[in-house]
Amino acid sequence: MANIITIEPGKRGGKPCIRGMRITVYDVLEYLASGMSYEEILDDFPYLTQQDIFACLTFAAKREQFRLFVG
């Protein structure tokens, strides 16, 4: 996941992005939350992979777990 989710200060305001592209973890999570399947996301964004989507989900889960841990 470390080489899939990237954070660059000058890109998208330093938000976590996928492989240095301009699509953020948040973008992917929003698509999933709106009801899009990962197949639909991959159709709309052919440069993404299923592994990219899973990395977004893993990133969000780990961030939430950390937030609960530190209070």
Q: List C-alpha distances in Å: 70 to 63, 65, 67.
A: 11, 9, 5
Name the pTM for this structure.
0.86
Domain 5-70 carries which CATH code? Answer: 1.10.10.10
Q: Which helix (H) or strand (E) holds 49?
A: none
Q: pLDDT by residue for the chain (71 residues), tens digit each?
A: 668 999 999 999 999 999 999 999 999 999 999 999 999 999 999 999 999 999 999 999 998 876 666 65
Q: Do residues 42 and 28 touch, judged by C-beta distance below 8 A?
A: no
